[in-house]
Amino acid sequence: MNKRKNKGIFRLRLTEDTRDRHLLSVIFTKTEFFVAMVSFIVMLSAIVFSIIAFTPVRTFIPGYPDARTKRAAIQNAIRMDSLETVIYRWELYAENLRRIVDGQEAVRIDELVMQRQNEGRDAADAGYLKSRDSIMRETVKKEEMFDISGKKQRELPIEGMIFFTPLKGVVSQGYDPVIHPFIDVTAPAGSVIKAIADGTVIYDGWSEETGYTIQVQHGSDIVSIYKHNQKLLKKTGDKVTAGSPIALVGNTGKLTTGDHLHFELWHKGESVDPTKYINF
């Protein structure tokens, strides 16, 4: 009867072999052994999970992003935002250049911002649209009241125009229509660069290659470009007159080896030799 009663009960005994002394003796059943093993596995899993989740050990797991990876991801996101800004500015520059070639006025950044802010209001308010249309018609009528000859007849050929010298200096490298479609004028740093004629600034900004750059649209589809400046004195949308200061001579950008003015002259979308029309 005792054998039946003790059936299913196990004993774990730890004995010292040299002295034959009992050190530990544990009695358990199958159920108790199963419960103990399950508890041990759960506790071990919890410990391993805590170590991986709350200590730097997780960074040693293949494929887990470490601090360097996160920093690189943030830097890439910043670069993406910068690239989007550069692409937007280049798109605006291309659009302005196209409008200049077509004889239209340049697009101003503040006008684009105001246009986006007023799009919803313009679409919802028909009366506002009518008033804007009436104002525009009156403005055009006043501008054309004394227009006798027309726009195309008022435009002069580039040979008949008088340009202001942008910078007095030495032409260190001349014009070549293929290799070097512009000229370099050497002058001391900080010398004042002036607009060659009346016009409107269509671009001012910075690039790694050309440094501080400013571009001016003039009449008769003429555009003048000034690069590697130390400082720009005008902003996009500003009106300039012939001889008015627009920048200072510098040495900014990668594509330069000294203080000078990189000067470009464009007529109807094609580069021309500035020395044919301007005395430096």
Tens-digit pLDDT profile for residues 175-234: 999 899 999 999 999 999 999 999 999 999 999 999 999 999 998 899 999 999 999 999
Classify residue 21: in a domain, yes or no: yes
pLDDT the model gives residue 100: 76
Please tell me the predicted confidence (pLDDT) of residue 187. Answer: 94
- Give the confidence band of 273 by pLDDT, cuts at 50, 70, 90: very high
Tell me which of 52-56, 164-168, 274-278 is least confident: 52-56
In a domain, 30, yes or no: yes
Give the domain extent around 25.
2-54
Higher pLDDT, 260 or 78: 260
Mean of the per-residue pLDDT values for the chain? 80
| Count of domains forming the chain | 2
Tell me the C-alpha distance between 183 and 9, whole Å. Answer: 102
The first and second tokens of residue 262, run together, are: 């990189």
Let me know if residue 45 belongs to a domain.
Answer: yes
Residue 84, SS3 per DSSP? helix
* Domain presence at residue 120: no
Considering 54, 80, 98, which residue would you say is the last residue of a domain?
Answer: 54
| Confidence class for position 121, pLDDT limits 50, 70, 90 | low
Interval 90-103: pLDDT, tens? 877 777 777 777 77
Q: Is this prediction's pTM over 0.75? A: no
> Residue 248 maps to which CATH number?
2.70.70.10
In a domain, 131, yes or no: no
Q: What percent of the chain has pLDDT over 70?
A: 74
Q: Is residue 155 domain-resident?
A: no
User: What pLDDT score does 172 carry?
Assistant: 93
Q: Which letter, b or e, does each residue of 123-147 get, where b requires 16 or more Cβ atoms within 10 Å of its Cβ? A: eeeeeeeeeeeeeeeeeeeeeeeee
Closest CA to 263 of 154, 169, 144, 189: 169
